[in-house]
Structure 1
């Protein structure tokens, strides 16, 4: 009888230990590891950081008059010209070397003043100029890509 009580207690301990343990396959563990690695890498591969891309700019004319955009260096060297951009149109992006850049918007209409803005443009920067319905530039600044 003494032995039966000992074996019963021992059996109870073994049974509770068996029920508390779980068996996981190696495949499940490998799947979890690969899933974690993919999720850690995925955001960077979808949106790689910008590197070595020249600055760019474009203009959108939402006004009622034709405008001309000149992009020039601080020394006055004209890099790009968008001639006679009609209302409702946008130029394509124009790329240029980094540095101090002057954006000159000319309006060949009496009563409207021309506008100039200057920014230091670095690599991986983009500038969207917009002529608003009042025929003047909206407040905008260059953004990083």
Structure 2
């Protein structure tokens, strides 16, 4: 028997760092064609190591996006508060300008993670009708 193709999988499952009962799971599949004189065992080890490294990088990007998304929310909250009290003094105006600059830096690149999916029938879904009599 002569091997010509190899395939490996690296999977990760980890908890959401800021929310309870939320987690992330993903599988990464890599495949390769072997050269005629290549050792299959060594190629599998090398490809598996590459897959594991890619999976760790993907996990790190997800966690970094979650951290940045949280920072965006915190800056938005601080900005709203500062704008409400902006008329009070000049220092608050500088704080508003600093927060707007920070928010601009945080949102200059789109997040890799998407928003939450709320399925029909869930109370928070906009098309869910909780009352049988309403049209």
* TM-score for the superposition, normalised by structure 1: 0.28
Identify, as 1 or 2, the structure richer in strand: 1
Structure with greater Cα Rg: 1
Identify, as 1 or 2, the structure richer in helix: 2
* TM-score for the superposition, normalised by structure 2: 0.30
Q: Compare relative contact order (CA 8 Å, sep 6+) and give the higher one, 1 or 2.
A: 1
